[in-house]
Amino acid sequence: MKQQWWKEAVAYEIYPRSFMDSNGDGIGDLAGILSKLDYLKELGVSLLWICPIFPSPNDDNGYDISDYQGIQPEFGTMDEFDALLAAVHARGMRLMLDLVLNHTSDEHPWFIDSRSSRTSAKRDWYIWRDGRNGGPPNNWESIFKGPAWEFDEVTGQYYLHIFSRKQPDLNWTNPAVTEAFSHIIRWWLDKGVDGFRLDAVSHMKKDPLFADARRLKGAPPPFSMKKYMNVPGILDIVDRLFQRSFNLYADAVTVGEANGVKAARALEWVGEEQRRMSMLFSFEHLDLWEDEAGTRLDVPALKKALFSWQKALNGKGWNALFIENHDIARVVSSWGDDTRYRAESATTLATLYFLLQGTPFIYQGQELGMTNFPFRSIDEFNDIRDRNTFLHHIQQGMSPAAALKTVARVARDNSRTPMQWDASKNAGFTSGTPWLKVNPNHTTINVDEESRDPKSVLNYYKQLIALRKRFPTLVYGATTPVLPDHPRLVAYTRHDAKSRILVLCNASNRPSRYHNPETPLLLHDALLLANRPVPRHATLTGVILQPWEARVYRLK
Ligand code: GLC
Ligand code: CA
C-alpha cells in the first residue's frame, strides 16, 4: 500500500467556537487555538481539522458561508490565520480546513445576486423552480426539518435548501460554480493549507427530474433522501472539481463527508486509482447513533459496519476512522456508560476504532471522555437542527417534556459545549460568558486534572497514539476480524510480514469470556496496552474481560 503522510497521521477535529476563547467574548477563536497547539502536540496528534472559520451569519454556526476567502471576525483576522498556520507547521503538524460545497449562506453575494432577478447572471448558480399547485415544486424535505423549498417573493420562484432556509443549495451542473470553487481551493492550497474536509459532498448532485421523494413508512424521517443524496452522476461533479483543484497538488488531503455511501461503493470514492478523495467519513456506523429512542449499542451491527469498510478498502483505498464529531452526541454517553464506567468505556471505545486500518480522528474533548450535557430546557439549545427537531416533535403532538428528553439524547449541542481545560469557572475556556453552557462536570473532567492522573482517559489516548506510532503494522497492516459474531466483544488482528497484533475490547457492562484457538497464548509479556490492571497469570483459556475492558497484545 502506497505510503502517504496523511495515512500515518492522527487527526484532531476542532470546533473553533468551543475550543478556546482568547479575548473574553465567550467565543472560541484562532488565537485561542494557537495558545493550545502545544497541548495538541503533546497529545501526539499531527493533523488538525478546524470546522469552518469563514465569515458566516452563523445560522448553522459557520456551515453557512458568506465569504470563502475571509475569516469570521469573531474568530480573528487573516493575519492571525497565517500565524496559526505557520505555528502548526513549525510544530511539524498539518492543517485541514472545512469547505462547504453543497450550499452557501443566503447572505453570500452570489445568492444575493441570484435572488435579485430571474435574469441575474448568477440566477443559475442556485436551484430555482416554479411552484406546483400553489405549493413547493416537489415534496422534498430539509434535513433540518420542514420543506426543502423556500418561496422568494421578489421573483416568485422557490429555491432549494436541503439544510436550513439560510443555506441555499448551489447548482453544480453549472460549470461556473465548479470554476469558482476550483479557484477558492487553489487559493487556500497555495497559501499552504494542507487539505480540506469536504462538507456534505454526497448531496451535491440532485435528481435531474426533481421527482417527488418516496414516503417511507414510520418516522423519523418520514421521507427518503435518495433524490438528493448519492444520486448517480455525483462523481462526475467531484471529478470536474478535483481535476481543476486538488489533483494539481499531490500532497493535499481530502476527507469527504459522505452520507449514504456504503462500503460496497466506497472504492469509487477513495480507490487510489480514481484520483478522487483521500478518505471518507462514512455514515454506516453513525446510523447506529441516531436513535432518539435511546437503544443501546448493537455491537454486532457496529462490527459489521466497521469491518465491511476495512475489507472493502484494504490495499486499495483508505479509511477515516472516527466515533465522535460535532454532529453527534458524545460517544461515552451514547454507547458507553457515562456513570458507572465512564473512563473504562471511553477508553474501550477509543481502542476499538483507533487501531483499525485508516487515519484516526479525535473530536475535541473525546480524549477526556467528555459526556453529554444535562439539558433542562429548550432554551439551553443553540443548534438550529436541535431546535427545529424539538418544534417538529411538539407539532407532532409530543409533550414539551418528552420532546426535550428525546432531543437531548441525540442533540448536536452535547458535543459543542466548551472544551474543559480546568476546574475553574467556565472550565478555563473563557473569562467571559460562554456562548453555550459549560458542562457542570468540568470540575472533575478536564485537561488539567487528567494530565496529572496517569489512569485518566487523556493519558490512555496518549498511549494509544504512541502505540500506533511505534508499530507501522497498526498503520498499514491488514485487519482480520476475530469472533465477528460475538455479541459483546469487538476483536481483531492487525498484521503484516513483521508483526501480528490483537485488539480485544469488551464493549459491554458485563464480564465476557474471550476464547479463540487461533490466538492460543496471551502472555503477559506480550501485553502492549490495557485500560485496567491485567493479572500476570492471564492465558488464553482464562481470559475474562471485565466490563469495558480493552487490551492489545502482540502475538507470536
Ligand atoms: C455537515 C456538517 C454539519 C452541517 C451540515 C450542513 O453535515 O458537519 O455540521 O450542519 O453539513 O452544512
Ligand atoms: Ca473570542
Q: Hey, whose CA ends up nearest to atom 2 of ligand 1?
A: 199
Distance from the alpha carbon of residue 416 to the mean position of ligand 2, in angstroms: 15
Q: Taking the mean position of all CA atoms in its chain, how far away is CA 144?
A: 17
CATH topology of domain 109-160: Oligo-1,6-glucosidase; domain 2 (3.90.400)
Distance from C-alpha of 112 to C-alpha of 240, rounded to nearest angstrom:
26
Question: Do residues 266 and 317 touch, judged by C-beta distance below 8 A?
Answer: yes
Nearest to 297 by CA among 544, 92, 25, 490: 490
Question: How do the domains of the chain map onto residue ranges?
Answer: 5-102+175-375+412-464, 109-160, 380-410, 478-555
Distance from C-alpha of 77 to C-alpha of 87, rounded to nearest angstrom:
15
Which residues contact ligand 1 via a Cβ below 6 A? 60, 63, 100, 163, 199-200, 257, 326-327
Distance from the alpha carbon of residue 405 to the mean position of ligand 1, in angstroms: 23
Is 5-102+175-375+412-464 in CATH node 3.40.50.2300?
Answer: no
**Ligand 1, closest atom to CA 64?**
12
Q: What confidence score (pLDDT) does residue 475 get?
A: 98
Predicted confidence band at 556 (pLDDT cuts at 50, 70, 90)?
Answer: confident
Distance from C-alpha of 479 to C-alpha of 493, rounded to nearest angstrom:
6
Q: pLDDT digits over 74-91, tens only?
A: 999 999 999 999 999 999
Counting ligands in written order, the one closest to the CA of 21 is 2
Give the chain's mean pLDDT: 95
Distance from the alpha carbon of residue 442 to the mean position of ligand 2, in angstroms: 20
Q: Are strands 11-14 and 359-363 parallel, antiparallel or unpaired?
A: parallel
Question: Do residues 10 and 359 touch, judged by C-beta distance below 8 A?
Answer: yes
Nearest to 358 by CA among 455, 245, 478: 478
Least confident of 29-38, 184-193, 293-302: 293-302
Instruction: Tell me what percent of the residues of the chain surpass a pLDDT of 90.
Output: 90
Across 328-338, average pLDDT: 95
Distance from C-alpha of 197 to C-alpha of 100, rounded to nearest angstrom:
9
Q: What is the pTM of this model?
A: 0.97
Active site residue 199: yes
Q: Hey, whose CA ends up nearest to atom 7 of ligand 1?
A: 200
Predicted confidence band at 234 (pLDDT cuts at 50, 70, 90)?
Answer: very high
List the catalytic residue out of 13, 60, 98, 199. 199
With residues binned 3-state (H G I as helix, E B as strand, rest as coil), the percentages for the chain, rounded to 5, are: 35, 15, 50
As a whole number of Å, the CA-based R_g of the chain is: 23
Active site residue 287: no
Is 478-555 in CATH node 3.40.50.10860?
Answer: no
Q: pLDDT digits over 145-178, tens only?
A: 999 999 999 999 999 999 999 999 999 999 999 9
Distance from the alpha carbon of residue 34 to the mean position of ligand 1, in angstroms: 25
Across 435-460, average pLDDT: 98
Across 441-463, average pLDDT: 98
The three cell numbers locating residue 309: 469498510
Residues 6+ apart with CB under 8 A from 210: 129, 137, 138, 227
Q: What confidence score (pLDDT) does residue 157 get?
A: 98
Distance from C-alpha of 546 to C-alpha of 519, rounded to nearest angstrom:
19
Q: Hey, whose CA ends up nearest to atom 12 of ligand 1?
A: 63
Counting ligands in written order, the one closest to the CA of 260 is 1
Distances (CA, A) of 2 to 8, 203, 317, 527: 11, 30, 9, 29
Q: pLDDT digits over 355-401, tens only?
A: 999 999 999 999 999 999 999 999 999 999 999 999 999 999 999 99
Q: What confidence score (pLDDT) does residue 518 get?
A: 73
Position 456: which residue type?
S
Predicted confidence band at 219 (pLDDT cuts at 50, 70, 90)?
Answer: low
Predicted confidence band at 286 (pLDDT cuts at 50, 70, 90)?
Answer: confident
List the catalytic residue out of 106, 150, 257, 413. 257
Residue 289 has pLDDT above 90, yes or no: no
Residue among 327, 384, 412 to mutate when testing ligand 1 (max atoms within 8 A of CB): 327
Q: What confidence score (pLDDT) does residue 294 get?
A: 63
